[in-house]
Amino acid sequence: MSSSARLNSLAARDVASVFHPYTDQIAHAENGPVIIAQGNGVRVLDDAGKSYIDVVAGLWCASLGFSNERLVEAAAKQMRALPFYHAFASKSHEPMIELSEMLLARAPVPMSKVFFANSGSEANDSAIKMIWYYNNARGLHEKKKIIGRIKGYHGITLASASLTGLPYNHKSFDLPLPGFLHTMTPHFYHGALPGESEEEFATRCADELEKLILAEGPETVAALFAEPIMGAGGVIIPPVGYFPKVKAVLDKYDVLLVADEVICGFGRTGQYWGSQTMDVQPDILTCAKALSAAYLPISAVMVNDRVFGPIAEETHKLGTFGHGFTYSGHPVAAAVAVETLKIYDETNILDHIAEVGPYLQSELRRRFTDHPLVGEVRGTGLIAALELVENKTTHQNFDAGRKVGARTAKHLEGFGIIGRPLPGDGLAFSPPLIITKPELDEVLDGVEKALAAITVDLRAEGFSASA
């Protein structure tokens, strides 16, 4: 390639002009981007024509893959009919109404109303504001503190990032803001005491939550946000009995439970909602990502009657609910979401997940449980993770500076699989829900090769596996 061609390449233009999210900007300037040019099924192609299976469905979101013509046509049809209208001041349109009805009909517990936003972050931020508004409406003006969990992920707005429990979302951003608290991670593999059963560990998690509420003052604590299965924090499965024990504590102190279903919703865990898989009984539910199969940005907040009633009364008193987005319930995004939910129903997506999900889980365990670098294999349905450790006996992770997870994901990319490294050197699996067993075999074969490659690298650096 000539010098002028290199200077005018997409990669050079990207480095010159784009500020990338979740990216080391200096390393990016040195190494450049991977430019994705096309998608087909569970695969994407880069600008050089190399094909990859995207085993994390983009960002846990492209549930129907990258080439669903029904969604393209749904967007085009709605664009021609009504390309935009808002939902402010009692304005409405059919796609938003239909989508609201469909979500309420599919909710894991009875819900009353649906509020729309554009991302999971905005949905969780909106839920926080609703909770504050709700308690003000009840005259409980001190009841405003919000609890998240260490390693939980709820977004990147000022409020939702404060709720998130990951250091890189806080450092140098001056977060978390006051009034946001964090309780322990329900990760049995790392958190259990010697001899402690899963149920005993779940009880201890609930007890720690209760101690936090009591220490802060129950009159000041408003809600707990929880992913049914933690996603970006490591694909962490809660221990047996965890959520019923937590809900009992919350009910005792009049604290709301918000289920963050941004990753878990719409079949990812094997049931329609992660709340059903993990026995969560939320007062508020947030969802996004697979709501539109990621074809257009849209998210939703569902609230039950307990929450909506006082909010509605307060809006009547004040004359409005002073919150919303220009694109709340955007008609094109809503139409695509409606079509997405219809596709899930008509293709019996849960039946397909019931076939391929257990296959993914069993094959991950069969192939990798005894691998010298793999400490834990965890997951359910079509969400899973391998955790890479320096010592399998003590569960000791590698030093973060060695970037073992990121390096493994880079090897995986070389074998035609786009993966996702996680905190603590995890490797995530969250493929499009339409993935087949032969495609999963390609993924698993690539993982075997990537683990072999990182093992060679580590041995060259003096690593010796501890069984």
Domain-located, residue 446: yes
Domain-located, residue 20: no
Residues 360 and 382: beta-carbon distance below 8 Å = yes
Residues 212 and 180: beta-carbon distance below 8 Å = no
Supply the DSSP string of 116-180, one letter for each residue: EESSHHHHHHHHHHHHHHHHHHTT-TT--EEEEETT----SSHHHHHHS--GGGTTTTT-SPTTE
pLDDT at 245 over 90: yes
Label residue 444 left, alpha or beta by phi (over 0 means left) and psi (-120 to 50 means alpha).
alpha
pTM of the model: 0.96
My answer on whether 271 and 379 are in the same domain is no
Domain boundary at 346, 375, 395, which?
346
Residues 227 and 153: beta-carbon distance below 8 Å = yes
- Give me 49's structure tokens: 């024509």
Domain-located, residue 6: no
- Domain CATH for 290: 3.40.640.10
Per the structure, how many domains does the chain have?
2
Portion of the chain with pLDDT greater than 90, in percent: 97
My answer on whether 319 and 362 are in the same domain is no
* Domain range enclosing 439: 34-67+348-460
My answer on whether 306 and 364 are in the same domain is no
| Residue 49, CA distances (Å) to 31, 408, 414 in order | 19, 22, 13
pLDDT digits (tens, 9 = 90+) for 217-235: 999 999 999 999 999 999 9
> Measured between alpha carbons, how far is 183 from 205 in angstroms, rounded to an integer?
8
My answer on whether 194 and 303 are in the same domain is yes
Dihedral sign from CA coordinates of 130, 229, 431, 98: negative
pLDDT at 414 over 80: yes
> Measured between alpha carbons, how far is 174 from 176 in angstroms, rounded to an integer?
7
> Measured between alpha carbons, how far is 104 from 265 in angstroms, rounded to an integer?
14
Q: Within 21-93, where are the H helices? A: 25-31, 57-60, 69-81
My answer on whether 433 and 330 are in the same domain is no
Q: Which residues of 25-40 are buried (b: 16+ CB within 10 A; e: fewer)?
A: eeeeeeeebeeeeebe
> Measured between alpha carbons, how far is 413 from 334 in angstroms, rounded to an integer?
34
pLDDT digits (tens, 9 = 90+) for 93-148: 999 999 999 999 999 999 999 999 999 999 999 999 999 999 999 999 999 999 99
Domain-located, residue 8: no
Domain-located, residue 314: yes
> Which residue type, as a one-letter code, is found at position 224?
L
pLDDT at 2 over 80: no
Domain-located, residue 247: yes
My answer on whether 328 and 204 are in the same domain is yes
My answer on whether 338 and 274 are in the same domain is yes
My answer on whether 231 and 215 are in the same domain is yes
Strand 426-429 to strand 221-226: parallel, antiparallel, or no bridges (unpaired)?
unpaired
Portion of the chain with pLDDT greater than 70, in percent: 98
Domain-located, residue 9: no
> Measured between alpha carbons, how far is 97 from 246 in angstroms, rounded to an integer?
34
- Residue closest to 56 by CA, chosen among 365, 297, 409, 299: 409
- Going by pLDDT thresholds of 50, 70 and 90, the confidence category of residue 466 is low
My answer on whether 284 and 353 are in the same domain is no
For the ranges 4-18, 23-37, 164-178, the lowest mean pLDDT is seen at 4-18
The stretch 449-465 carries a mean pLDDT of 92
- Going by pLDDT thresholds of 50, 70 and 90, the confidence category of residue 4 is very low
My answer on whether 263 and 369 are in the same domain is no
- Domain CATH for 364: 3.90.1150.10
Domain boundary at 295, 318, 346, which?
346
- Residue closest to 258 by CA, chosen among 287, 283, 290: 283
- Give me 427's structure tokens: 């490797």
| pLDDT value, residue 291 | 99
My answer on whether 110 and 122 are in the same domain is yes
Domain boundary at 296, 320, 346, which?
346
Residues 264 and 273: beta-carbon distance below 8 Å = yes
| pLDDT value, residue 271 | 98
> Measured between alpha carbons, how far is 80 from 332 in angstroms, rounded to an integer?
10
pLDDT digits (tens, 9 = 90+) for 327-354: 999 999 999 999 999 999 999 999 999 9
Supply the DSSP string of 283-331, one letter for each residue: SEEEE-GGGTTTSS--EEEEE-HHHHHHHHHHHHHHSS-----TTTT-H
Residues 318 and 324: beta-carbon distance below 8 Å = no
pLDDT at 60 over 70: yes
pLDDT at 6 over 80: no
Domain-located, residue 230: yes
My answer on whether 369 and 310 are in the same domain is no
